[in-house]
Structure 1
Amino acid sequence: MIGFDYGTSNCAVGIMEGNNPKILPLGDHGRYISSTLYAPSRDVIVNWLCKHLPLSEQKNFQQQRQRQLQKGQAVLRELTLDGCPTELSFGQQALNNYLQEPDEGYYIKSPKSFLGASGLMPQQVELFEDIVAAMMSNIKMLTESALGRTVSQTVIGRPVNFQGLRGEESNQQALTILTNAAKRVGFKDVEFQFEPVAAGFEYEASLHKETRVLVVDIGGGTTDCSMLLMGPKQAASQDRTGDLLSHSGERIGGNDFDITFALKGIMPSFGMDTMLKTGKSMPTNSYWQAVAINNITHQTEFYSAANGRFLQQLIRDAEQPRLLRRLLTVQQQKLSYRVVNAAEQSKIALTDQIQQQVDLSDIDDGLTVDLDRDGFAKACKRELRAIAALMADAITQANCQPDVVFVTGGTAKSPILNQFLKQQFQHTPIVIGDHFGSVTAGLTRWARTIYS
């Protein structure tokens, strides 16, 4: 049995060793593998997956995906004739392959962000199920290699609300995709647990008395808050329903901070705040679409032929056409992830530094952008207000104040976030957990509880 944090930014797997959870090393990726996938063509994902499925699943899968498998086989033959790689890559290697040739292949980051999306067509749901299953298959193989045995039972973390507009319908869509993918790659027993609750279970192991804990999990895709009644007495129970006092969650996470930082910190160097020759302000819609990597509709519109023509007209109408040509380069060479990745890496660097220079000379010769902590704080005011509202909502629902605030999630590492949380809870102790490991550890503890 394992705890499986299939995260928006990273994935991790835990097992119990005695009374303590251990996060497993996943081959060369270390304990955390970035939630990314790169394929030489989108059409070959289904073929890679079929090849790596358990034998018991392959026949059914071949029948269900017959047309896609045939199309993928034809693409594989072309790739082989052209001397191109035919395998999928995951984690950091996936990002490296994308950055080498952004306009070739198929790259996806944080597919979890799309699972609850509204308006997905059946073929899109199938594609996401295949992508998730491929990533899960890779992680399952790495886990079994590390353990030297098969694993068939898992608890997978889930946000309070996935990133969709249809509430519980979006949640059920996402859970169905995750469940189907997990069962397909060989997990026989699949359960889910709220990510903030799982993080709370890990913190609970250190408590010696009954405590009201507000867990704030600021992850890559969502921010989730849970007010929990925790302590030694509660930890001994399998039924924790009465201890879960409230939940709140929304699609506000590290990806949103990165996107906002890219828009407000980097896009001015691509002409966003400039003027047209007519004296009017530059239209900003294409800039937002360019960085909205977690929105299928925006990305489709940005990369459409119609938008390419629109950008070329903007260049002719712009007072500073060279800056607009940079945005056209992003559009023509499919560099959205490149720009947002630059913002993300700068956000990470600003954890330890006050300023950071971004090299974007691959987009325009000599282009660099200077970013700093103050600019990050100003760019993310809306996201911070939304997180404050979520925490307040959880407290209101629970009808009590927390004795302690337990904070986890990679985004919470930012000094800007730390300062913000201290301002919100000036008279309540704040405990910072393992930013990346608390959820995995808690999922692992819960797996032992329910499967033992």
Structure 2
Amino acid sequence: MTQACGLDFGTSNSTMGRVGADGVPHLLALEEGKPTIPSVLFFGFEDDIIRFGRQAVAEYVTGADGRLMRSLKSVLGTALIGDSTRVKARSYGFVEILGLFIAQLKARAEAELGEGVDTVVCGRPVHFVDDDPVADAAAQSQLEGAVRAQGFRHIDFQYEPIAAALDYERQVRSERLALIVDLGGGTSDFSVVRVSPQRARASDRSGDILATAGVHVGGTDFDRLLSMAKVMPELGLGTLTKDGKRHLPVAPYYDLSTWHRINRLYNAQALRDLRGTSREAQARPRVETMIALIEDRLGHRLVGAVEASKIELSDAEVTEFAFPVRDQMLEVLISIDDFTAPLANSVERIEATIAETLRRAGLVASQIDSLILTGGSTQVPAIGRRLVAMFPDAELVRTDVLGSVGLGLAMDAARKFGPQG
């Protein structure tokens, strides 16, 4: 017998869930008994082993020689999807790398269930790509192709915020208008949904979705903004050439702050360009440190350290960023205000998209009964405070930020493909 499951392939973490014979959804243990697995691969150069999830991160952190790949979802629908990355003598396309990770999810789910899984409802953001319906459709097609190539025969899609609403609906006792705010690693999605115990039994809920909207802003953008504001200046960003006539090129710093673009710096031409920049720079030692960092392929580790600082600022007013590069240490104090300021534009885009979602639904903020926050980026204090301030009269519901979408997708799979034993 085969199972129908929900698959939440996230920018940062992934889950798979199913509805059991008791009608209750639960997430499958995908790694070390945990229901989440980081969406990460590590290609080991020393032993030619591909590791996934926490094992991939652990191997990388030890300093093992290899290539770490994450934020894979971010390349869907972009020109980068056609790129490849070299792993020793072999070149892997991004679609192939996606397939490797999804195949691993399928294998682990089947091991947990003790039977095959060939039917799946995949989560998708409201917009993979902003303001580009053609690219957005291409992104879903690319993801579906990667999923189908791993042996899934029956595939459907559901918006991630709708899945979160399905999970929340299990606890409601009366009809409510809910705004689901799903701030993930790569996208921010919003949906107004009518929920109730009676409606929960319906297989077709399309009429209860009053409006959806999304914007391509998420946790990886916040990491990049923090890096550009506080870390990249330590490597020369914002400094001038010796003649004082122009600033150093921004593009390499942007690439070094953006996880899925870092590999573009690991080639001879990029290093030649940086060495030319160094010769012209007033702050030449800083640029030389950047060159050393890239020569040692520390880019992904640097972004990981910035992300760790961001997470620390969820609970602390100040954190000390320290990152070793050969015999030097990049050090800078980062305060919560340092982080909040670069986020201003992103928060405005999130607020504007929420306002557009309400407009499409024909509602005003005071008519929202429940504000449902899901996705790891809702834990960023500056964002959480602004969201709550927008809906002071609504019930605040903080979901399992990493699990609610997977649970809702499992429920959707059971409804669309029938009960699973």
TM-score, L = length of structure 1: 0.83
Counterpart pick for 2:314 among 351, 357, 364 = 351
Match of 1:422 among 381, 388, 396: 388
Q: Of the candidates 126, 130, 139, which is equivalent to residue 160 of structure 1? A: 126
TM-superposed deviation, 1:369: 2.3
Matches within 5 A, 1:268-279: 268-279=233-244
Query: Does 2:202 correspond to 1:240?
Result: no
- The one of 353, 368, 373 equivalent to 2:336 is 373
Equivalent residue for 1:198, pick from 142, 163, 169: 163
| SS of aligned partner of 1:232 | coil
Assess if the C-alpha contact under 8 Å between 2:293 and 2:325 holds in 1. Answer: no
Q: CA RMSD in A?
A: 2.4
Asked if 1:227 is matched to 2:228, the reply is: no
Distance 1:439 1:371 in 2: 32
Aligned-pair distance for 1:87? 2.0
- Structure 2 contact 369–393 (Cα < 8 Å) conserved: no
Contact preservation (8 Å) 1:292, 1:299: no
CA distance in 2, matches of 1:122, 1:303: 14
* Aligned partner (choices 29, 43, 49) of residue 87 of structure 1: 49
Residues 1:114 and 2:80 are matched in the alignment: no
The letter of the residue matching 1:358 is: F
| CA distances 1:345-391 after superposition (whole Å, capped 9, x unpaired) | 11112222222222211355233222221111112111111111111
Range 399-408 or range 172-181, more displaced? 172-181
Q: Output the CA distance in 1 between the equivalents of 2:318 and 2:351.
A: 26
Tell me the distance in 1 between the aligned counterparts of 2:356 and 2:69: 33
Q: Which residue of 2 aligns with 1:184?
A: 149
Unpaired runs of 5+ in structure 1? 42-83
Deviation, structure 1 residue 34: 0.8
Q: Distance in 2 between matches of 1:29 and 1:274?
A: 48
Equivalent residue in structure 1 for 2:401, among 424, 435, 442: 435
Q: Secondary structure at the match of 1:282?
A: coil
Larger mean CA deviation between 14-23 and 377-386 belongs to 14-23
**Residue in structure 2 matched with residue 308 of structure 1 by the alignment:** 271
1:122-137 aligned within 5 A: 127-137=93-103
Q: Report the 3-state secondary structure (helix = DSSP H, G, I; strand = E; otherwise coil) of the residue aligned with 1:352.
A: coil
Q: Which amino acid aligns with 2:373?
A: V
Structure 1 residues 169 and 15: alpha-carbon distance in aligned structure 2, compared to 1, 3 A threshold: same
Offset, 1:447: 1.2
Q: Secondary structure at the match of 2:162?
A: helix
1:203: how far off?
0.9
Map Cα deviations across residues 58-101 of structure 1 (whole Å, 9 max, x no partner): xxxxxxxxxxxxxxxxxxxxxxxxxx312211112223444555
What does residue range 11-410 of structure 1 map to in structure 2 within 5 Å?
11-17=14-20, 18-28=22-32, 30-40=34-44, 84-100=46-62, 105-118=66-79, 120-121=81-82, 127-163=93-129, 167-280=132-245, 282-283=247-248, 284-295=250-261, 300=264, 302-362=265-325, 364-401=327-364, 402-410=368-376
Aligned residues of 1:114 and 1:163 also touching (Cα < 8 A) = no
Shift of 1:265: 1.8
SS at match of 1:450: helix
The Cα shift of 1:119 comes to 7.3
Deviation (angstroms), 1:176: 2.0
Is residue 246–residue 395 contact of structure 1 (8 Å, CA) maintained in 2?
yes
Shift of 1:202: 0.8
Distance 1:383 1:450, change over 3 A: same
Which residue identity does 2:384 align to in structure 1?
N
* Greater fraction of residues in strand: 2
Task: Confirm or deny: 8 A CA contact 1:113 1:163 kept in the other structure.
Answer: no
Cα distance between partner residues in 2 of 1:366 and 1:129: 36
Residue 117 of structure 1: CA displacement? 0.7
Partners of 2:267 and 2:99 in 1: CA distance: 29
Task: Give the number of aligned pairs.
Answer: 405
Partner-residue secondary structure (3-state), 1:380 = helix
Once the two structures are superposed, residues 307-349 of structure 1 have per-residue CA deviations (whole angstroms, 9 ceiling, x without a partner) of 3223223323333322111221233233322221111111112
3-state secondary structure, aligned to 1:28: coil
Give 3-state SS (helix, strand or coil) of 1:151's partner: strand
- The question of whether the paired residues in 2 share the 8 Å contact of 1:118 and 1:170 is answered with no
* Residue of structure 2 in register with 1:65 after alignment: none
Distance 1:294 1:249 in 2: 21
The percentage of counterpart residues that share the same residue type is 30
